[in-house]
Amino acid sequence: MAAPPHTSPAATPLEGFLPVDPETEAAVRVEGGKLLELMDAHPAPGILSRKGAYARLMDWSMQDPAFKTQLFRFVDVLPSLDSPADVIRHLREYLGDKAVELSPALRTGLAAASLAPGLAAGAVRAQITDLARQFVAGETPADLVRQLLRNAEAGRATTIDLLGETVVSAAEADAFLQRNLEILDTIAAALARDPSPAFSDLGPAGPLPRLNLSVKISALTPDVHPADPDRSIAALKERLRPILRRAGAVGAFINFDMESYRLKDLTLALFRSILEEEEFRAQPAAGIALQAYLRDCERDLRGLIAWARQTRRPLAVRLVKGAYWEHETIFARQRGWPVPVWSRKPESDAGYEKLTCLLLDHADLVAPAFATHNVRSCAHALVQAARRGLDPRAIEFQALYGMADDLKAALIQTGHRVREYCAVGALLPGMAYLVRRLLENTSNESFLRRKNQGGATADQLLENPVTTLARSSGDATPPGRHSLGEGGPSRVGRPAVPDFRNAPTTDFTVAANRERQRAALDRLNGRLGRKWPLVIGGRPVADREYIASTNPAHPEQVVGHWARGTVADADAAVAAGLAAFPAWRATPPEERARIVERAGDLMEARRFELNAYLILESGKPWMEADGDISEAIDFCRFYAAEMRRLARPVVTQGVPGERCVQVWTPRGVGVAIAPWNFPLAILTGLTVAPLVAGNCVIIKPARQTSVIGAQLMAVLTEAGVPPGVLAFLPCFGSDAGARLVSHPGLAFYAFTGSRAVGCGIWEAAGRTPPGQAHLKKVVCEMGGKNALIIDTDADLDEAIPAALASAFGYAGQKCSALSRLIVLDGAYDRFVPRFLAACASLPVGDPAEPGTVVNPVIDDAARRSILGSIDQGRREARLAWQAALPPELAASGGHYVPPTVFTEVRPEQVIAREEIFGPVVAILRARDLDEAIAWANDCDYALTGGLFSRSPAALERAARELACGNVYLNRGITGAVVERHPFGGYKMSGGGTKAGGREYLQHFMNPRVIAENTVRRGFTPPEE
Ligand SMILES: Cc1cc2nc3c(=O)[nH]c(=O)nc-3n(C[C@H](O)[C@H](O)[C@H](O)COP(=O)(O)OP(=O)(O)OC[C@H]3O[C@@H](n4cnc5c(N)ncnc54)[C@H](O)[C@@H]3O)c2cc1C
């Protein structure tokens, strides 16, 4: 069996924290005590120590987690609200929530706000702006210059951070680059006029660069794809080089900030790779932030030090704990990946201390900067530096603007260098930053909160984190201690169905996983063209006509040949199934469940190989293919768990003297008819659900992906499905397929596919010819014309990437894909130009390349049909954007369709009503939410749909009124996950059945009730 695919760096163990050394502890208490005393002597106005409205707000939010969540959500949405009425409406919606308790003062304020919205909205906006000003050093370069000079006067050095984190288009990244260049020029000019460096600008060997800029790489390109680091690094370098060049010219220092874990390896690789370029070997001076809350931080720091020694490149490391703890925890848990951060706060602190020592050991080449507001962490660094005999100026402390001013002053007073991290920029992009700071300040575990609000003693504040850990229980994540436990998702990691957990997808940011995928592709490329026979009654049937199945990106490449089933084969498959049915029905459900689970395990073991089949035969990009495999595995495991549940008889009535139970019995023999777009997942779901329920199944895969169908047959056979229970019958709909649809011996059809075929099956199955003594069951999933509504207050940084992924992932060939974007008038001018610009960054290409998002469509017929729809759109609406396909793609013969967006679409137009199944989006402009919901619902289909909004009332309304089987709020509308999002629609989207849901299996069984009179001459058995 292959090794598990999720070789995660998060599993790399730290070699244990530093042992507690009494001598060091005593010294830390002295140093820390000194700092605390100085801080108490000169208390600085921090956010928690301020008086008045803020203090009351922060106090209340720390007492009531529900209030805190709502308040921070309100802060987050505020900059996008245009009118006073909007501000007050949101305020009421958030703070009027029943779960939120308001202090009497806040309650009065809220009531008064409704009476004079104009006045109140202005006041609220002013308050929040003021709050933001606590953390943001200014909006303009001139503000920054002033702050720099103020810092210098106080002895502090400065590092500059330009706010603005999410860029969705090249134009936005260019603008960000330009702002960085401008700030370098402006500040360099200002500093040239003022030659006196601050106390903290002098290092052990003389002056340090006074101009110090912190850069976040996510703002440098929209084209970051962690699964494709080479391409991402190339794109990032395009905008990083000009910054480094300018920094070199003006003598500035550039620091790479560290963001989410997803980008960590990429950031490290970029840092090394660009600084190895000839032109940047010597300058500019550069550094990088490392996050001690990551379990693999030690490995990264050691790697960086080794690299610096090897290349003789001096650098600086800013050691932080990490600002994305909640995000990392939720992100990993949602995906079933190992959580990369420590789960207990003192672990991060202890990790920080260990890494402090490692850094100090290499201070000759790697300049250590300790970015923390924690006095214990600072005191420990001071003690360890002194123990190593380091010049006090060899180490730097860093702190954020607006926070821990008393600590900054105390450190400078004791002769240590301090650099202030000054965020500058407009309020809107600053909100994410502000919310992060508010969370940090109000978190139960934050040092600042414990010091300023918690009443902790100096001894408690200065306790060694290893001692704290030893004292605490073994519970890795005590509930309720962090915001995750405070109104966060209550079901994190807890399966609703016992014994079932979703199969994690592969983390392609891990290099080993990328290598395994490449190797699997190479292996499959070396053995393409095999012949795949039919399988009937457990025997291969090979002497048939063979049909070639080709690669959509390279149609000349034959992935394999499949035997074409005939009408006689269809009859034979039904007969074999009917013969096998009694024994399979009698097989204990537990045994059937185990066989199906084993199939899931086999798929997991063959994951990379199966991915390769999907990439080559269905044209799925890596991550889409991998998601398909996970879903297939989920179906196996979930339906197995469901069968165990349903196998337990249900006692239906409790009257004395009668025992009534309901049991389920399988229907008979049926057909699984699957589409090519989820060639393994849907085919598996349609097959294993009836199979585990005790039915026999004829597998009819889509013609375009029958080689993948053959893999499923092989897996199920290897898992132990007895001969005859399954038949593998790829065939054409016109003959053998038609025979299956009308066959009187069949009991059910499990179908997913087009509306035309689905309706045909539904109708045919309704006929009961003479000799057929049963009604057929049809489980039918068809298409969609799915709409996503963008509200006026939507978070566009979130909505745009979600809309792109929903519309263009797998080239829009998903029944759930976004096809109509309904944008409210108030958001239109902000959303549409950004969305169109973002479309231009979509990587279109061969799915064998890991960074591809938009692949070729499945075949030439599909391509021609989609191009026809595009022509229709041109006649009806305005072609707002269409990708220009690179010449090499056009010349490759692949079935590429340029992603296309139409604007000025009216709801009655064909382009807004008919399913396209390709990378085409129609944008409609709606007056308000009423109109948007009416348009979304005015459609033959009811599959997926969603809303991006930050209005709780609008979200509630969408949940109630959007007519779709799957409603998605503030997220993309594709990517349903088994058990979490049972999937399926109604109207012309399907029969209302939910794949991956708790009622699904029952469709393949008949309920039976057994009522037994247990009374014998007046007495009943004792258990009654
Ligand atoms: C100058 C400067 C630059 C910074 N740059 C970056 C940067 O580039 N990237 C970045 O990510 N952050 C950065 N930060 C933020 C930093 O990572 C911390 O979030 C912040 O400083 C709080 O840590 P602390 O040591 O000051 O406070 P403390 O209160 O001692 O520590 C709080 C930190 O502990 C960790 N933590 C909290 N709860 C838990 C838990 N349950 N289990 C494990 N760990 C937990 C978190 O990292 C949290 O931020 C920077 C901070 C400063 C001061």
**How much distance in Å is there from the Cα of 124 to the middle of ligand 1?**
29
Atom of ligand 1 nearest to the CA of 372: 26
Q: Which residue has the tokens 């599959």?
A: 943
Contact 965, 946 (CB under 8 A): no
Distance CA 813, CA 278 (A): 45
- Smallest CA-to-CA distance from 367 within 345, 385, 348, 350 is with 385
DSSP letter for each residue of 870-888: HHHHHHHSEEEEEPPPPHH
DSSP letter for each residue of 483-549: TTTTTS-TTTT--SSTT--PPPPP-TTSHHHHHHHHHHHHHHHTT--EEE-EEETTEEE--S-EEEE
Kindly name the residue from 328, 347, 781, 979 that is annotated as catalytic. Answer: 781
Distance CA 173, CA 19 (A): 46
Pocket test for ligand 1, best of 321, 396, 483 (most atoms within 8 A of CB): 321
The pLDDT value recorded for residue 496 is 56
Count CB atoms within 10 A of the CB of residue 740.
28
**What torsion, rounded to 10 degrees, do the Cα atoms 825, 826, 832, 833 define?**
130
Within 13 Å, how many C-alpha atoms sit on residue 870's CB side? 20
Q: What letter does residue 928 receive in the DSSP assignment?
A: S
Residue 447: CB within 6 Å of ligand 1? yes
> Which helix (H) or strand (E) element contains residue 253?
strand 253-256
Q: What is the pLDDT of residues 930-943, one digit of tens each?
A: 999 999 999 999 99
Report H helices in 855-985: 860-876, 887-892, 929-937, 952-961
Locate 346 and state its tokens: 């003192």
Q: Whose CA is nearest to atom 44 of ligand 1?
A: 345
Kindly name the residue from 297, 696, 780, 815 that is annotated as catalytic. Answer: 815
- Smallest CA-to-CA distance from 423 within 438, 408, 434 is with 434
Q: At what angle do helices 706-719 and 589-605 cross, to 10 degrees?
A: 130
> Which helix (H) or strand (E) element contains residue 967?
strand 966-969
Can you tell me whether residue 938 is helix, strand or coil?
Answer: coil
**How much distance in Å is there from the Cα of 399 to the middle of ligand 1?**
11
The pLDDT value recorded for residue 46 is 56
Residue 399: CB within 6 Å of ligand 1? yes
Distance CA 858, CA 753 (A): 14
Q: What is the 3-state secondary structure (H, E, C) of 439-485?
A: HHHHCCCCHHHHHHCCCCCHHHHCCCHHHHHHHCCCCCCCCCCCCCC
The pLDDT value recorded for residue 476 is 44
**How much distance in Å is there from the Cα of 224 to the middle of ligand 1?**
24
Q: Kindly tell me the sign of the dihedral angle through the C-alpha atoms of 790, 794, 800, 801.
A: negative
The pLDDT value recorded for residue 441 is 80
Q: Are strands 669-673 and 658-666 parallel, antiparallel or unpaired?
A: unpaired
Distance CA 990, CA 755 (A): 9
Longest dimension (CA), the chain: 110
- With a cut of 70, which residues of the chain have pLDDT below it? 1-15, 44-55, 98, 105, 165, 427-429, 454, 473-498, 653, 1023-1024
Can you tell me whether residue 822 is helix, strand or coil?
Answer: strand
Locate 973 and state its tokens: 């509308």
In the residue annotation, 781 being an active-site residue is answered as yes
Residue 74: CB within 6 Å of ligand 1? no
Q: What is the pTM for the complete model shown?
A: 0.93
Contact 159, 255 (CB under 8 A): yes
Residue 162: CB within 6 Å of ligand 1? no
Q: What is the pLDDT of residues 370-404, one digit of tens each?
A: 999 999 999 999 999 999 999 999 999 999 999 99
Tell me if the bond preceding 22 is cis, omega within 30° of 0: no
Residue 813: CB within 6 Å of ligand 1? no
Distance CA 210, CA 201 (A): 6
Q: Residue 388: what residue type? A: R
Pocket test for ligand 1, best of 156, 200, 320, 400 (most atoms within 8 A of CB): 320
Cβ neighbourhood burial of 260 (10 Å; 0-12, 13-18, 19+): middle
Q: CA-CA distances (angstroms) from residue 768 to 37, 592, 990? A: 90, 31, 22
Distance CA 618, CA 810 (A): 10
Q: What is the pLDDT of residues 451-496, one digit of tens each?
A: 887 689 999 999 999 999 998 755 444 333 333 333 333 333 444 5
**How much distance in Å is there from the Cα of 321 to the middle of ligand 1?**
4
**How much distance in Å is there from the Cα of 260 to the middle of ligand 1?**
13
Distance CA 611, CA 603 (A): 10
Distance CA 83, CA 121 (A): 8
In the residue annotation, 278 being an active-site residue is answered as no
Q: What letter does residue 208 receive in the DSSP assignment?
A: P
**How much distance in Å is there from the Cα of 243 to the middle of ligand 1?**
27
DSSP letter for each residue of 692-715: HTT-EEEEE--GGGHHHHHHHHHH
Q: CA-CA distances (angstroms) from residue 680 to 463, 598, 978? A: 55, 16, 14
Atom of ligand 1 nearest to the CA of 450: 29
The pLDDT value recorded for residue 845 is 96
Those residues whose C-beta lies under 8 Å from the C-beta of residue 317, and which sit 6 or more positions away, are 287, 288, 289, 290, 301, 304, 359, 366, 367, 368, 369
Residue 80: CB within 6 Å of ligand 1? no
Q: Which residue has the tokens 């199945």?
A: 549
